[in-house]
A and B are shown apart, each in its own frame.
Chain A
Amino acid sequence: MFVSSIDDALARKVENKAYEQENVEPDYVAIIPPVVVDEEEYEDDYGSDISDSDPLESVNRIMYDFNDVVDRYLLAPVARGYRSVVPEYGRDRIGDALNNLTSPVSFVNNILQGDVKGTATVFWRFVINSTIGIGGLHDIATDFGLERDDADFGQTMGVYGLESGPYIVLPLLGPTTVRDSLGDIFDVIYDPTASANTAFVVTHRVVDIVDSRENILDFTDDIEKNSFDPYVSIRSSYLQNRQKEIDSAYK
């Protein structure tokens, strides 16, 4: 169906070239019929242009370019090295352990959101994974049906109706919104398990960053390869996904 119309299009191009030589106006028949795309059909699901709202774009792009250089020459190579040196099993264990460490924050935010089921789920996930799952290295709780569903304070504020504020790109931390970045600060200050041991905190942060970067290598490689404007693709993906997380937290 479609391939044959591509061939027609090519054939017509050849024909039209011949016409051009004879100074005859080519007769462009619309092979691809114009479609009236009724966007209202999709408004319920796609909403307004939330993926394009970016009043701080000029500043954000500068920050994005800076982050991109740091990433290209430092973070991404380290992440690739991590991927090639540590086998997938090992990376999964580290990933599970890191996720487990976010449980206390998620617990607090589930309570704040009034999510009784979520609160219980996070609690039991933490208990099971920390004990049977050997210090969080194995995410056994998921096998028991306790799905992971993180809650952070930015999400909590969203549930309470706080507008997200403009999209901003922070140095090194990357895309966020004003609300979500304030939320992250809150989560760091009020982390129930905040440790005084500097070495642990630093190591944890570093491993967390490398692990996160490795996780999204395929995604970012795809954007690099296929996107015309990676800044815009990342912004759009971030805002859409964030919107979905808020919507699902509402339920």
Chain B
Amino acid sequence: MAIIMVRINRYLKYIIFSVIFTNSVLFSDIANAANAEEKNISGARDYVTRVSEDILEIVNDVNISEQEKENYLSKLFDAHVDTGWMGQFILGKYNRTITDAQRNEYIPLYHEYLKRSYIPKFKLYSGENYNIIRAKDKGRDNFLVKVAIVSDKANSDVNVDYRLNYKDGKGFVIRDIVGEGVSLIVTQRSDFGAMIKKKGIEFFIKKLSEKVESMGSSTITDDDSSKKDKIAEAAG
């Protein structure tokens, strides 16, 4: 069992690759139209390449602070991770019984929850390369792109799959990441489902809201960041 979890652990570092970076959210549609890949296998590969390169550019940039990096990555996340769909997949059968009001509350919370879970992980990144192995057309506008993360150390590659969906007029969005066979949304479906089954949807949404708050903000304002830098400078 430990071997299995080792591989999952290494995949966790690379889940940052799911945080997509383009321009700010307001311009994302324009940016996407300009860069939009085609709805086919090579388009899917190009999309993952573009996205990965953008992320790496941010993460590897030595001239910006960690907080700025988190801010950029946050905007990417907003633009390209299809949390509206993912959140509802994760509800499983409860997606049929949830009310509109609850859904309107839950989806933004889920969006924040996922973002705050994974953006801080970019700190774990340490120079690995990646290879896009293959892309598949799964039908119904869904695509699967298989990526191997190559680590500097001579360990075997970590296999990460990206499930994409193509939205007409917008381009690709990400709907799931699968690391070493472990799907993010399937795992979360089990996790959330266990609590909803025991305590109900209202209780779950309340807990989700508390958890999101306890995770802290994924972005801070400029004032805060300049204060932090000043304190850091003063501390030497």
Contacts and interface: CB of A to CB of B under 8 A. Distances in A.
B191 A229 contact: yes
Given A30-B104, A31-B104, A241-B182, A1 B25 contact: yes
Looking at A31, A38, A227, the one whose CB has the most chain B CB atoms below 10 A away is: A227
A73 interface: no
Contacts of A28: 100-101, 104
**Interface core residue of A147, A209, A218 (most chain B CB under 10 Å):** A218
A34 B107 CA distance: 10
15 contacts: A1-B170, A2-B78, A37-B85, A51-B186, A138-B154, A218-B13, A225-B215, A227-B191, A228-B207, A235-B190, A238-B4, A240-B186, A240-B187, A241-B8, A241-B180
Contact of B187 (A37, A39, A176, A236): A236
Contacts of A45: 138, 144
A245 interface: yes
B8 A228 contact: no
Nearest to B25: A3
Most buried by B among A175, A241, A245: A241
Interface string A217-251: 11110100111110011011110111111010000
Given A215-B5, A236-B191, A30 B85 contact: no
Contacts of B88: 34-35, 37
Given A30-B103, A31-B104, A233-B187, A242 B4 contact: yes
B154 A6 contact: no
Category for how many chain A residues contact B: 35 or more
B14 to A, nearest CB: 12
A139 interface: yes
Contact of A6 (B111, B190, B194): B111
A218 B190 contact: no
Nearest to B144: A45
B219 to A, nearest CB: 11
B107 A32 contact: yes
Interface in B33-63: none
Contacts of B187: 51, 233, 236-237, 240
A193 interface: no
A2 B25 contact: yes
A222 B12 contact: yes
Interface of B: 1-9, 12-13, 25-26, 28-29, 78-79, 83-85, 88-89, 92, 95, 100-101, 103-105, 107-108, 111, 113, 117, 124, 138-140, 142, 144, 153-157, 170, 180-183, 186-187, 189-195, 204, 207-208, 211, 215
B78 A3 contact: yes
Q: Which of B108, B140, B157 has the most CB of A within 10 A?
A: B108
Contacts of A150: 3
A147 B157 contact: yes
B103 A34 contact: yes
A30 B100 contact: yes
A149 B156 contact: yes
Contacts of A209: 2
Contact of B84 (A35, A51, A229, A242): A35
Contacts of B12: 218-219, 222
A191 interface: no
A232 B194 contact: yes
Contacts of A174: 1-2
B83 to A, nearest CB: 7
B167 to A, nearest CB: 10
Contacts of B79: 1-2
Contacts of B191: 227-229, 232-233, 236
Contacts of A222: 12, 117
A176 B1 contact: yes
The 10 closest A-B pairs by CB, nearest first: A244-B181, A212-B2, A219-B9, A236-B190, A216-B5, A215-B6, A142-B154, A139-B154, A232-B194, A236-B187
A142 B189 CA distance: 36
Of A37, A222, A242, the most chain B CB neighbours within 10 A belong to A37
Nearest to A57: B194
Nearest to B89: A37
Interface in A167-226: 173-176, 209, 212-213, 215-220, 222, 225-226
Interface string A71-89: 0000000000000000000
